[in-house]
Amino acid sequence: MTARHSMLICDDEIDLAQELGEFFANEGWEVEVCVSGTQAIRLLQGGLAPQVLLTDLRIGTFNGVEVVAAARQLPAGSRPAVTVILTGHVVGSAVAADFACDLLYAKPVDPDLLLREVVSLLALRKACAERGA
Amino acid sequence: MTSSRTKPSIGWLPLALIAITVALFFATGMLYVTQTRNRSLMTQTIRSSGWVAYQAELEYVKADSALAVAAIAPNADALAAAELRLEILRSRLPLLYNSDEGRVLRDVIDLEKPVHAAETLLDGLMDRLPAISPTDPGAAETLLAIQKDMAPIGTTLKRILMESVAYNQEIFRRERALAEAPGMVPLLLLFVSGTCLALVLLLQSRRDRLRLDAIVAAQKTVIAMEENLRAIIEAMPACMIVINPQDDSVSFVNSAASALVNLPLDHAEWRRLVHAAFQAAIDSSGDRWGMLNMSYARISGDITSLRGSLCRVIWEGRPQLLLVMVDVSRVRRAELQVMQAAKLATLGEMATAIAHELNQPLAVIRMAVANANRLLTQIEGGELVAGKLDRISAQVDRAKRITDQVRRYGRMPSEENEPFPLRHAVDLAMSFVADHYRSANIRLALEADIAADTLVMGEQTMFEQVIVNLLVNARDAFESSGVRTARSVVVRVRVHEDEAVIEVEDNAGGIAEEVMPRLFEPFSTTKPTEKGTGLGLSIARSVIRDMHGTIGAENVAGGARFVIALPLRHAARNAA
Amino acid sequence: MMKLFRRIAIVVALFSSTLSGAFAADLNLRWLDAKGAVTAERMLSLADIDKLAQVKIDTSTPWTSGLQHFRGPTISTLAALAPGKVASATVIAINDYAVTLPSAAWEKYGPILATRLNDQTMRVRDKGPFWVMFPIDSDPELAEQHYQSLMVWQVKQIDFITD
């Protein structure tokens, strides 16, 4: 129930991570940026508890799916409500469910679209959580 | 080995047999001659031996009778006659043992002692005779007495005679028995050796005939093999040219070579080819052997690439050069095509990789542009820059579209051709564009005369992409043509014989004639850059080809019609 | 006178030979022409024969043992006692055994009518008085039956057949 949305952005390409961070910061979000999966997991486990987790997939050096999985394993309070995977390598016609995340986008993503869908899904989740609670 | 003369190989066995036969022949002859002579001699002697005994006996009888006559009328003549007879008899007795015949007789009959006794007796008697006077009254008695005393001689002689006769008969009998035998043995041997010789010669001739047959068969095999080799040489796709090293003229060419240079062997063109080959065959150390690569300009003007080798060969007993060359022009072209395909494949892969990689900077550009736009609102005079940023943004979109299509274009041939329900795929594709069509005021209709479970083989998503692409193209065509009224696009799906036919027909004005031939080529688009990448239809064609179908376009009244034909999947109808 | 004396001598010899048992050593020679007519005839005594040219043959014979010495005139000598070319000679023995010698035989081998065997006359029992003898040892052919039959002993008469 925080006023500001929070997001953890994780992408090993520092330029993109920074731009993404700037974009969401301009929209009034609280943004944390990191460039490695291990760093992201550490932050999450360290109690960062962002509302949204946005990570690259980049299979190879670091796996976004691990970050997503780590996020899932967090206690309910610190678990992000929405996980988003952003990837440059879409294998075939994959869908979000394939990666156990909520939203899946192929790079380059339309920033407005991204913002819109994340916000609406977050609202939805919030509403569900409130209703459930 | 191919000679059929067998004389030098005559074995020692027949020669030996011939020698034996000839020797036996002569031996038989000689034996026969000697035997005959000996036999005749022996016969004579044997006969004479009996004769001697007979003659002695005869003389005895004569002497005996002379004595008897003298006893009857003892006168001087009678006495003289009797004395003469006794003398003659006496002369006969030694012959029984002291003559050729007597020697034979002596060996057979025990006569020496009795004859000697007879001689002694006779000598005594003969001594008494001269004492008798014819006028002597007792003369007759004396004579008779002498005659009587002579009797044992007669007995002896008779016995000897009988024995000799018996012996003669025995001899004759044995001789007759032997007559055939001695002659038989060598004759038999001759016969046997002759038969053996005949047999050996027969065997030899049979063996020679077999050998001859074998040789003939071997020759036939050789000829057959030569035929095969000749057939192979003629059938070989490589050119074979046999060159006489002395004057570089051509001794033999196979059919492939005469196809290359279609001229008589004494034409100068051959020499030109040969010299060119010689040149090409000079290796690094300057020797004129080994592999060669050359281009040969045929008389017709074509240039063929030839690859081959030059080596020594014994052809028809003489040392010649053998030039074997293969026309590699086609091979080379095929190689180039393969390289091209590989390059394309690599390009495809590269394209995919590039596309993937491009997405990264594109993502950054996009975000940066969005952020820049945000920053600009706080700066004065930022509208122009904002316009440029918008342009950048649009180009990023375009780049993304290109990378998307490139990715799809460059993908590997599908390994996942699965059967999918055609109608469902078409429905899906149409639903993708339904909203856009609504907002563009285009009526989209589906005429599907096909069962829901009719299957085709392919990648469903790719096929959907194709239909989407066609529908998007139709929509874009409407926009650019400006036709506003009664826009409609009809999608028809039906089964025709063994195929499924899908038609996408619009009334957007048709396709320009000059564009038609290159409609499905990559990067040939009529759309403005914001809309078209130029890859859509070529990708569509590629996809449809992978599905073993065909795609075509034609202008119909007021619009264009794209027709896709796909082979039906005739298998399990219960596939979902 | 001599003729008479000779005749008496012959008679006496005959007589004495008859008496002594040494038979008349007389050789009867006849010459016949081709038709068989007698063209000449001679009776020779031993003394007459001795007067002719003598030839010696030293040889062994099938009927004797050891080397024997024969002496007498050759058949051709006897044949030449009368004119005419003699083609063959028929030799007749005391027992009437007869055999024909072709002239070729005595021309080739020179047989004799032996009167002496080892310098002694031959009694009838010794195959005398006259024995046709060939030089047997000089030619192996003479040892054969054929020639043996020509070596007639106890010869009493020879008929020469002229051409």
C64: domain CATH number is 3.90.420.10
Q: Domain boundary at B365, B385, B409, which?
A: B409
Q: Where are the domains of chain A?
A: 6-128
Radius of gyration (C-alpha) of chain B in whole angstroms:
69
pLDDT of residue C21: 40
Same domain, B201 and B59: yes
Query: In chain A, what residues touch B460 (CB-CB under 8 Å)?
Result: none
Instruction: Say which residue, B446 or A37, is predicted with more confidence.
Output: B446
We report the CATH number of the domain holding residue B396 as: 1.10.287.130
Residue C73 belongs to a domain: yes
DSSP lists the bridge partners of residue B376 as none
Residues B396 and B423 in one domain: no
Residue pointed to by tokens 């003298």:
B70
Indicate which of B83, B91, B132 best probes the interface with C, i.e. most C CBs within 10 Å of its own CB. B91
Distances in Å between the Cα of B151 and the Cα atoms of B53, B125, B162 are: 16, 11, 16
Same structural domain, B258 and B182: no
C144 φψ region: left (φ > 0), alpha (ψ -120 to 50), beta (else): beta
Asked whether the beta carbons of residue B84 and residue C127 sit closer than 8 angstroms, the reply is no
Residue of chain B whose Cα is closest to the Cα of A12: B360
Task: Give the tens place of pLDDT for each residue, C54-108.
Answer: 999 999 998 988 899 999 999 988 888 888 888 999 999 988 889 999 988 888 8
**Is position C130 within any domain?**
yes
Residue pair A57/A85 in contact (Cβ under 8 Å)? The answer is yes
Of the candidates B306, B327, B348, which is a domain's last residue?
A: B327
Parallel/antiparallel/unpaired status of strands A52-56 and A82-87? parallel
Note whether B355 and B477 are same-domain residues: no
Q: How far is B293 from chain A (nearest CA, A)?
A: 47
In a domain, B232, yes or no: no
CA A107 to CA B240: how far, in whole Å?
A: 62
Burial tier of B126 (Cβ tally within 10 Å: 0-12, 13-18, 19+): buried
- For B16-21, which contacts have Cβ atoms below 8 Å and span 24 or more sequence positions? B17/B193, B17/B196, B17/B197, B17/B200, B18/B197, B20/B193, B21/B190, B21/B193, B21/B194, B21/B197
**Residue C11, domain member (yes or no):** no
- Please give the Cα distance from B509 to B488 (Å, whole number): 11
Partner residue facing C21 (CB), from B48, B83, B100? B83
Residues of C with CB under 8 A from a CB of B: 18, 20-21, 23, 62-65, 94-95, 123-127, 144-145, 148, 153-154
Q: Which among B334, B307, B332, B311 has a CA at the least distance from the CA of B321?
A: B311
Note whether residue B576 is domain-resident. no
C13 inside domain: no
C157 pLDDT tier (thresholds 50, 70, 90): very high
Interface with B, mutate which of A27, A61, A89 (most B CBs under 10 A): A89
How confident is the model over B316-345, as a mean pLDDT? 79
CB-closest option in B62, B87, B98 to C124: B87
User: Is the Cβ–Cβ distance between B292 and B308 less than 8 Å?
Assistant: yes
C152 within some domain: yes
**Mean pLDDT over each residue of chain A, to the nearest integer:** 82
pLDDT surpassing 70 at residue B176: yes
| Cβ-Cβ contacts under 8 Å, B84 against chain C | 23, 94, 124
pLDDT at B8 > cutoff 80: no
Residue B119, in any domain of the structure: yes
Q: Which domain holds residue C47?
A: 24-162
Backbone phi, psi, residue B377, to 5°: -60, -20
**Given CB atoms, is A47 within the 8 Å cutoff of chain B?**
no
Contact C111, C105 (CB under 8 A): yes
The single residue listed with the structure tokens 């294998």 is: A91
Is residue B576 within 8 A of residue B525, CB to CB? The reply is no
Residues 6+ positions from B557 with CB-CB distance below 8 Å? B507
Claim to verify: residue B423 and residue B507 sit in the same structural domain: yes
B322 and B244 in one domain? yes
- Per mean pLDDT, which range of B146-155, B179-188, B432-441, C143-152 is the poorest? B179-188
On whether both B200 and B246 belong to a single domain, the answer is no
In the predicted structure, residue A71 carries a pLDDT above the cut 80: yes
- Give the residue among C100, C104, C95 at the shortest CA–CA distance from C156: C95
Q: Tokens 């006659």 belong to which residue?
A: B81
Interface test with A, best of B362, B366, B402, B403 (most A CBs within 10 A): B366
Give the pLDDT confidence of B457-515 residue by residue, as tens digits.
888 878 888 898 899 888 888 887 776 678 889 999 998 888 899 999 998 888 888 88
Tabulate helix, strand, coil % of chain C (nearest 5): 35, 35, 35
pLDDT tens readout for residues C19-52 = 334 455 688 999 998 888 888 898 999 888 899 9
Most confident listed range (B183-197, B441-455, B535-549): B441-455
Domain of residue B361, residue span = 332-409
Contact: C63, B88; criterion CB under 8 Å: no
Q: How many domains does chain B have?
A: 4
Interior angle at CA B479, CA B476 and CA B484, nearest 5: 135
Q: Is B427 exposed, middle or buried (0-12, 13-18, 19+ CB in 10 A)?
A: middle
Cβ-nearest to C123 among B59, B62, B87: B87
Cis amide prior to A108 (ω within 30 degrees): yes
| Higher-pLDDT residue of B356, C44 | C44
Name every residue whose Cβ is closer than 8 Å to that of residue B316 and which is 6 or more positions away in sequence.
B251
Domain with residue B316: its CATH number is: 3.30.450.20
**Out of B5-14, B81-90, B228-237, B478-487, which region has the weakest mean confidence (pLDDT)?**
B5-14
| CATH superfamily entry for domain A6-128 | Response regulator (3.40.50.2300)
Out of A22, A26, A88, whose CB is closest to B363?
Answer: A88
Q: How many domains are contained in chain C?
A: 1
Q: What are phi and psi of C162, to 5 degrees?
A: -95, 160
Q: Are residues B66 and B160 in the same domain?
A: yes
Phi–psi pair at B506, nearest 5 degrees? -125, 170
**Which residue in chain A has the smallest CA separation from B358?**
A88
Task: Looking at the complex, report in whole angstroms how far the Cα of residue B94 sits from the nearest Cα belonging to chain C.
Answer: 8
* Count of other CB atoms within 10 angstroms of residue B381: 8
| CATH number of the domain bearing residue B431 | 3.30.565.10
Contact B342, B359 (CB under 8 A): no
Whether the per-residue pLDDT at B519 is higher than 90: the answer is no
pLDDT band at B41 (very low <50, low <70, confident <90, very high): low
Closest CA to B323 of B278, B283, B260: B278
Could you tell me how many residues make up chain B? 576
Q: How confident is the model at residue B72 (pLDDT cuts 50, 70, 90)?
A: confident
Is there a domain that residue C138 lies in?
yes
Q: What pLDDT, on a 0 to 100 scale, did the predictor assign at position C13? A: 47
pLDDT at residue B451 is higher than 50: yes
Domain-embedded: residue C74 = yes
Instruction: Pick the range with the lowest mean pLDDT from B172-181, B375-384, B446-455.
Output: B172-181
Q: What is the mean pLDDT of residues B389-418?
A: 74
The CATH number linked to B36 is 1.20.120
Please give, rounded to a whole number of angstroms, the shortest distance from the CA of A24 to a CA of chain B.
9
Q: Is the pLDDT of residue B19 over 60?
A: yes
